[in-house]
Amino acid sequence: MNKPSPLLQVRDLVTQVATPEGARTVVDRLSFDLQRGETLCIAGESGSGKSMTVLSLMQLLPKNLARIAGGSAIMNGRDILKLSESQMRSVRGKHIGMIFQEPMTSLNPVLTIGRQLAEAVGDDSGLSGEAMRKRCKELLDHVQISDATRRLTQYPHELSGGMRQRVMIAMALAQKPEILIADEPTTALDVTVQAQILALIRKLQAEDGISVIMITHDMGVVAEMADHVLVMNKGKTVEYGPLREVFHKPKDEYTQKLLAAVPRLGEMTGTDKPKRAAEAKSPEPEKAPAPVLEVENLVVRFDIKGGILQRPIRRVHAVEGVSFTVNRGETLSLVGESGCGKSTTGKALLNLVPWNGDIRIHGKSTKGLSRTAMRPLLRDIQMIFQDPYASLDPRMRVGDLVAEPLVIHGLASGSELTDRVEYLFRRVGLSADQMRRYPHEFSGGQRQRICIARALSLSPKLIVADESVAALDVSIQAQVLDLLQDIQNETGVSYLFISHDMAVVEQISHRVAVMYAGRFVEMGTRRQVFENPRHPYTKKLMDAVPVADPDRERRLFMVNDGELPSPVKPLDYVPPTLTRTVLADGHTIWR
């Protein structure tokens, strides 16, 4: 039986970018086939050439900075790499649609969703007025966005992350393309929303018969979605073949390393300690009578003002009545979806947002303290933010950035300061000669190590790590997680680890608190929460985690599974009282 002709046949694609040293090849003789109705996943770490590959196919490379230096891409008998810009306009959207990684930067903030969908449908559709509105509503219905008529009049900032990504899918499908390119479509999404988006893409693929090229560094997503897998490293193909062959019999050492670095939910079953602590057989964190951090009935609310006099008209209930403690040498993880209040809780600890309740650091309350009075206490609590590049001043050398907290607190100067910074660089796996470089000269993983060094500079007792590995590739993520745990085992530092990645949380935590709509719904030891979850929301989070196992039956996840309730309430809103149940072993559930 003859094998059907590929819908897209790419051969020996070469893409180069201009550098001060001359042209550099970022896609090096790449070849693959895409069959009708199948999903090809292109996997690899950041900088491997994944996105440059699809930008080349779409001819969306930045002018004067990058060019296609060779190869072909045959679709419907035409080499789309040889088409002029005017010819490519008829290919983009009509034959190949594309979903970009970050919907908030891809959508125009000053245009309504309906207006942007109409632009995607295009003037050559012959639709206008009511007919165009009907078509746009059909597209939103097709991607299962609730209350589509109202959504057409809203702006991007009024939608959740999951809804914005669905709008991007609707725009990509507006002209019924044959191929859908999805460039990291779920990287910034929580596991439940990610599962909904992946299920939606599978559903639309089955209904419309489209082919999908999905770019991702998440091997769990690859296992959930792919028919064939292409693994890239430094612009080259290192592995290419059917899904199960690549997962079960990887030929290349890079693919083996990539698969080994994937955190797998459940691999810590039967152990009481975090992964590195269990390997090192280090002692349990101290059960000190005076914890490093005590939080009681933390409440964070923000007024929304309006009208001519700009008086409060509504209120955001970001955090409602949260209480917890963190002991020396312990990692307490806060997990939940975006908007549940995790990051706001972390910011309140450092007085970065207004709050009510009581926060005590080493038994001393921070309530009502001035900035000057807070300064000595802030030596004991530091923060690592999600985006290391946004956290580092691009105008300063990284050595000066790490030294800055020591200078501000007057703890070191001269050669003593230099020695301390050099030690911190070595401690996080960087060399002293890198101190004179600027942030843009480092990779994402290296920048996050610099942020860790900066947080460690004051020898804090507690570090708030806010989604500190969310944007990192799995291999870099594993290195940073190992580093954080090794530092904890050696110094006894405590972590408040904020994340939506349940597999990562399982590896690093002593205790876990699950947040939903500004409140805790479950809290217990790592083993209690992961091996015996009691709250339905906790079970839902775990069910949504993609599993890097191609033999596991692909889940029929509920696509339209609802959004988190809005934290915006009327001024007279009174939060409902939850019933707290503490089991004999300390496992706590709120309902």
pLDDT at 287 over 60: no
- Give me the residue spans of the domains in the chain: 36-60+89-260, 275-372+494-590
Amino acid at 480: V
- pLDDT tens figures, 229-260: 999 999 999 999 999 999 999 999 999 988 98
Higher per-residue confidence, 437 vs 477: 437
CB of 298 within 8 A of CB of 355? yes
- The continuous run of DSSP H or E covering 24 comes out as strand 22-34
pLDDT at 200 over 60: yes
CA trace torsion 269, 272, 277, 280 (10° rounding): -80
CA distance 507 to 139: 41
Higher per-residue confidence, 384 vs 158: 384
pLDDT at 201 over 60: yes
Beta-strand runs (E) in 191-245: 211-216, 228-233, 236-242
As a whole-number percent, the residues of the chain with pLDDT over 70 amount to 95
Is there a common fold for 36-60+89-260 and 275-372+494-590? yes
Helix-strand-coil split of the chain, %, nearest 5: 35, 25, 40
- Tokens of residue 200, six digits: 């939606």
pLDDT at 562 over 60: no
* CATH superfamily, region 275-372+494-590: P-loop containing nucleotide triphosphate hydrolases (3.40.50.300)
pLDDT at 277 over 80: no
Query: How far, CA to CA in Å, does 287 sit from each of 290, 291, 317, 329, 563?
Result: 9, 8, 33, 9, 38
pLDDT at 330 over 90: yes
* CATH superfamily, region 36-60+89-260: P-loop containing nucleotide triphosphate hydrolases (3.40.50.300)
Q: Give the model's confidence band at 563: pLDDT under 50 very low, under 70 low, under 90 confident, else very high.
A: low
Supply the pTM of this predicted model: 0.83
